[in-house]
Amino acid sequence: MDRLLNTIRPYPWGSATALPNLMGTVSDGTPQAELWMGAHPAAPSRLLRASGPETLDALIASRPAAELGEATLRRFGPRLPFLLKLLAVQAPLSLQVHPDLAQAAVGHRIENAQGVPLDAPHRNYRDGNHKPEMVVALSSFEGLCGFRPSAHCADLLEALRLSELAPYVTALRKEPEEPALRAVFSAFLAAPESLVDAVAGSVAHQAEHAERDRSAWKAYDGIARACPGDPGLLAALMLQHVRLAPGEGIFLGAGVPHAYLSGLGVEIMASSDNVLRCGLTSKHVDAEELLRVVRFTASPVRVLRPAARGAEAEEVYPAPVDDFRLSRTRLSAGSRALLDATAPQILVCTRGSIRVSSSCSSLALEPGESAYVPAGEQVTLRGEGEAFRATVDAGHGYEEKCE
């Protein structure tokens, strides 16, 4: 078991205060968007060792069976299959979607054959892996996730009282849902700036005066103000607004368009950097490729709540993938939790003070601090506070879907 030194990514949409407040540090006024914990080559965690810091990806590459365990190595190869983050959102993230395994493999192979550098800004597929993900709120957390039913999209657009939107309202009401969502979403991505500005003005009015869905209108108005002139606003109107209370989460599978808007949370995902964007960003946008990947189906957002494991303190968030398994342990004074050791794991403290002990070492974790535990090393948690555990659900049969 080792304490981790982790990298904070200073993306422009990040909060300057949320992570410093959690970790008890002083903000320098710059955005601190994501704290990465894992072995992703873009920003691998480092382990504090007597001989000096060592990156987690290098450690796993040097002894994969010992670090990952035979089951994880057999299923995923010599790599840590998940990436854990603390996410601090102050402004809207890009409107984006992730590919499934087959799409990622093909896209990665094609771009390699074309000679596109892995770090090129216009590269879509930086690896051949999918990127299912889950976010669990630590504060009130808002986002957009998946399509509204076509009839609901039509109602919302009609409420804006703009004649330019009438053809889209008609299509959403009269055409079958999947082709209607596809046609309208595609058209919105190419919307002229004049239409975007008109929609932004009507959205601002709704945010002030709407009798229904006021919180959703306020969220869309925030997007319009943060990203003026961006056609992603129109596409965002087709997505469901989600507000999570602390402890609640959502899972996002392949092809589901989404964007996080505000809040502090724990995020876990398959270890991949494949993101296709279509708006609300200054980064590369490839609308054509995104439209190939998006799944134009509407289904209710399933808000996840953790399920207790019998009498144990650990509570597990359900996810239909085996790349990762996320759980939460809340301890009161004098209590403890024994965590199994069948796969590698990363533990991060999010509240209070947690002591992590194994047969050969012991670490005290304060909020924002984390530890890496290799496969086969059983640990006990004690203290008063809260910790999240990321590991592998090696016994789960993989199923690519979003519930």
Q: Which sequence positions are flagged as catalytic?
A: 277
What is the DSSP secondary-structure string of 310-339? TTSSEEEE--S-SS-EEEEEEE-TT-EEEE
Alpha-carbon span 139 to 107, nearest angstrom:
36
Q: Which of 353, 351, 327 is nearest to 340 (CA)?
A: 327
Report the 10 Å Cβ neighbour count for 332: 10
Residue 187 has phi, psi (to 5 degrees) of -65, -40
Cross-strand pairs, 95:
279
Report the 10 Å Cβ neighbour count for 128: 18
Give the up-direction half-sphere exposure of residue 165: CA atoms within 13 A in the CB hemisphere.
26
Torsion angle, alpha carbons of 62, 115, 125, 229, to 10: 140
CA 145 to each of CA 64, 96, 126, 178: distance values in angstroms, whole numbers, following the listed order: 36, 10, 24, 17
The DSSP call for residue 94 is P
What amino acid occupies position 213? D
CA 256 to each of CA 169, 292, 335, 374, 392: distance values in angstroms, whole numbers, following the listed order: 22, 12, 40, 33, 23
Q: At what angle do helices 214-226 and 193-209 cross, to 10 degrees?
A: 140
Quick one: tokens of 330?
């809340």
Secondary structure percentages of the chain, helix, strand, coil, to 5: 30, 30, 40
Quick one: tokens of 104?
């990622």
